[in-house]
Structure 1
Amino acid sequence: MDFPTDYMYGTADTFSFVFKATSTWELPALTSLYLRDVTLCCDENNDKYIDIFSKFVNLKNLSIIGCETNGFKVLNICLPLLSNLELDQPVNGSVKFINVVAPQLKNLTITDFGYKQYLISATNLVFLRYKGYHCFLHFPADDYLSLEKADICLKYPKCAHQVLRLLQQLRNVKFLTLSLEIVELLSLSMELISNQPSPFANLKSLKVHPERYLYEVRKLERVKMSSEVRGYLLDSSPGATFTMVSREEYDTKLAQNLIKQLRTFLEKEKAGTETKMTKMHEQGKAHVDVDMSWKKLNVQIEKGREKASFIIEMLKDINGVLTTLPASNRATIQPSFSTLLAETDIVMKKITDCIKMDCDENQRRLSLCFHELATNLQSSS
């Protein structure tokens, strides 16, 4: 969810500041707040909880991204009119619990690969997206959620009890997306779902896709979706559509996308390098400050190193994905990858040639400078 990023009436955008949480913020006209890379600190009591947004009585949109906390463990977000809430790696530091009380909340997006616990009270929630390593999302037991859509992606779920508790609370959802890792965990925990009816009576669509790549699970046990788990998810909604993406399909598409991304980068870099080399030929004889030209050369060398590192890492990622694919899937992508390697060799040679031209030109200018100094010295003697 994107919120405005400039100053407007009722909207604030805040970057790289430190605020004391004990300060009173009273902004009754504020309707949207975007916080990124902000440090919230409280220096009174390490066990203290804070409700820094309590005076924002008309706040409807709140986004907290990559902030730091110091001096308190619980962050309260209690807003009566809040409609949209985005928490993307929201806070690092002292906070261990985030408590959200928002009776008018419609859309909630949480991305957090840390270990913070989330307690959400939002009975009118319509859309939920939660992405993390484990299941650290909790709703009050008596909350009756009226969800339309839910997207739950857990990369390394460990506790089947927590996952089942969450699924029970999402029972009214109509469009549900789950990571394949959740399904695999449930398939290893058959005793927990045996003889239990499916909680999803209103389901219209169920989608399952991997969150981990094949090369991340090669050493782990490969688990197929059991018929019991499928029944638990779908039996109460026999008319629901079901789509499941296998790890092979997911990684095949991933490899194709990575190849496309790298090819786009190489094409842009090739065109840029050729343009630069043309300009260097045209301007090579121009007088340029020698000291400044060597500083620019250092910059160019560092940029070349960064580009080379990026290209090599991309190639390694693509190769890592390809090595895990079945032979038939790999055979369809291998020709594109081989062509990409040839294109990479050409571009890397151009980058190197461009740096060499810079070095040669700098050496020419330096020699010219020495010659001028020697000539001036002879003329003055």
Structure 2
Amino acid sequence: MGLTYKNSITTPPTWDMLALTTLNLFYVIMYADNTDGSAGLFSNCANLKNLTLNFCSMGSGRFNICHPRLSNLTLIDSQQYGDVDVVAPQLKNITITNWRGIHLVSTPNLASLQCEGRSFPLQVSAELLHLEMVDICVLHPGDSRKDAHEIVCLLQKLHCVKFLTLNPEIIKVLCLYVELISHQSSPFANLKSLKIHPKIYPDYVTLTEQTQAEVTMSTEVKNYFLDGSPDASFKMVSHEDIRAMQKTKLAQSLITELQALLEQDKASIETKMVKMHEEKTDIDGCWKYLSVQIEKGKEKTSDIISKLKEIKDIITELPASNQATIQPSFSTLCMEADIVMNKITDCTKRQCDENLRRVNVCFHELATTLQTPS
């Protein structure tokens, strides 16, 4: 059973919904009625496993999310600083997006942590011994010693992680205050993969216009992450890599879109050619119809060529390795486009021939009539 609320609601002191397993709340102001640290609003939903708070805010004080069976928690775009304490012994996955003031008090079985925001949103008191995957992106973590210290404290709490992804801005702060970690041994004994990955923007044009400087990881910072797990893989993705990735994805999307349109065009042309000889139209109507079809064929051909040029321009800007990946699909697309444009031309020629045939029939009938003896 699942519920979604999009308006303000007032819950009774006991909110018993025993069958509820999934709850999504949108634009709800949540007032803490559990200042004594008791179970909280969701504790009476005994079987709740999935909880999402979208654009919610805390009315006053700290708010407890305390539940013995909660497995998945998603917090998205708090309308203000939403101070939330999380006590959830069965929690497996938590996703935090643009929500400050999250405190993981007790989440001993947490396996996946994804966190994104403009500033550092997270405090951890819990022991996270089963942590598999962590992906943290903080666009503006701050560049003071205090900010760097907060980052180091959080990383120490994530020491059991196996797959760790951070954005370059975090690495930049650590490099500025490398003395905070230079005398520490690496806490990451279970690490299998470390990836430094910039924020992926949905619009490659916007990304192309950006001029972000690439971040270089110092030896001390790299050792801090990898010395405890020397066999772990390491990849530092540049903004140029992201731009190439986005452009490749865009080109592939445009290829798929044009392929679908070409298939529709082929089917449409074949239907027209079948019906061409079945239509009974006077000569004037035939020529008017042909004129319309010629104009449509011109527009369709121009549209196909325009789309092919757009895709080619994107591919030309890609690195050689990305070009090699997408070139076979583009070559196949060009051949399919050539077939369709030839079919458009052939259809137009056949229509012209059909019109001439009908004109000849008309002339023949007229001539036959004039030759008939009176």
Name the TM-score, length of structure 2 as normaliser: 0.62
Note the C-alpha offset of 1:205: 0.7
Is the 8 Å Cα contact of residues 147 and 174 (structure 1) preserved in structure 2? Answer: no
Partner of 1:369: none
Structure 1 match to 2:93: 108
Of the three residues 64, 70, 73, the one matched with 1:86 is 73
In structure 1, the partner of 2:235 is: 244
Secondary structure in 2 matching 1:53: helix
Q: Decide which of 2, 11, 14 is 1:12's aligned counterpart.
A: 2
- Give yes or no for the alignment of 1:121 onto 2:92: no
Equivalent residues of 2:167, 2:196 under 8 A apart: yes
Q: Which residue of 1 aligns with 2:120?
A: 136
Q: Is the 8 A contact 1:80 1:103 kept in 2?
A: yes
8 Å Cα contact 1:21/1:41 also seen in 2: no
For residue 30 of structure 1, what is the aligned residue in structure 2? 19
Cα 1:322–1:106 change in 2 (3 A) is: farther
- Per-residue CA deviations over 1:33-58 (Å, capped at 9, x if unaligned) read 1316x34246xxxxx43653232234
Deviation of residue 228 (structure 1)?
A: 0.8
Which amino acid in 1 is paired with 2:190?
L
- Which residue identity lines up with residue 141 of structure 2 in the other structure? K
Distance 1:134 1:189 in 2: 20
Change (3 A) 1:133 1:337: farther
Q: Which aligned pairs between 1:1-381 and structure 2 lie closer than 5 A?
A: 11-14=1-4, 17-24=6-13, 26-30=15-19, 32-35=21-24, 38-41=26-29, 48-49=31-32, 51-59=40-48, 61-64=49-52, 67-69=54-56, 72=59, 76-87=63-74, 89=76, 91-93=77-79, 95-112=80-97, 114-141=98-125, 143-159=126-142, 160-200=148-188, 202-212=189-199, 215=207, 219-238=211-230, 240-247=231-238, 248-272=240-264, 275=267, 319=314, 323=317, 328-329=320-321, 332=324
**One-letter identity of the residue aligned with 1:229:** V
Paired residue type of 2:86: V
> RMSD between aligned alpha carbons?
4.5
Q: TM-score, normalised by structure 1?
A: 0.61
Partners of 2:141 and 2:123 in 1: how far apart? Answer: 19
SS at match of 2:221: helix
Percent identity over the alignment is 18
User: Which whole-Å CA distance do the structure 2 matches of 1:185 and 1:229 have between them?
Assistant: 10
| SS state at 1:18 partner | coil
Q: Is the 8 A contact 1:149 1:175 kept in 2?
A: yes
More strand by share: 1
Q: Which has the larger radius of gyration?
A: 2
Q: Where does the alignment leave 5 or more consecutive residues of structure 1 unmatched?
A: 1-10, 43-47, 286-307, 350-381
| Aligned length in residues | 301
